[in-house]
């Protein structure tokens, strides 16, 4: 597994990459959630 080789060679770099990716994913999900939530509020009013 090439991915495993990269993880073994550069665990700290991979960890930071994973953290950045995860943080981005959380921000995107929260943004979509708030857009949908505000959209529903506009519909009910």
Average pLDDT rounded to a whole number, residues 9-37? 89
Q: Would you say the C-alpha torsion 7, 12, 13, 14 has a positive or negative sign?
A: positive
Average pLDDT rounded to a whole number, residues 13-24? 86
Q: What is the DSSP letter of 10?
A: -
- Indicate the pLDDT class of residue 15, thresholds 50, 70 and 90: confident
Distance CA 3, CA 21 (A): 16
Distance CA 45, CA 43 (A): 6
pLDDT cut 70: percent of the chain above it: 82
Distance CA 32, CA 14 (A): 27
HSE (CB half, 13 Å, CA atoms) of 4?
A: 1
Work out the mean pLDDT of the chain and round it to a whole number: 82
According to the model, what pLDDT value does residue 5 have? 77
């Amino acid at each position: 597994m090439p991915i495993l080789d990269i993880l073994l060679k550069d665990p700290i770099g991979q960890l930071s990459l994973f953290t950045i990716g995860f943080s981005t994913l959380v921000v995107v999900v929260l943004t979509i959630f708030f857009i949908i939530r505000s959209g529903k509020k506009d519909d009910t009013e």
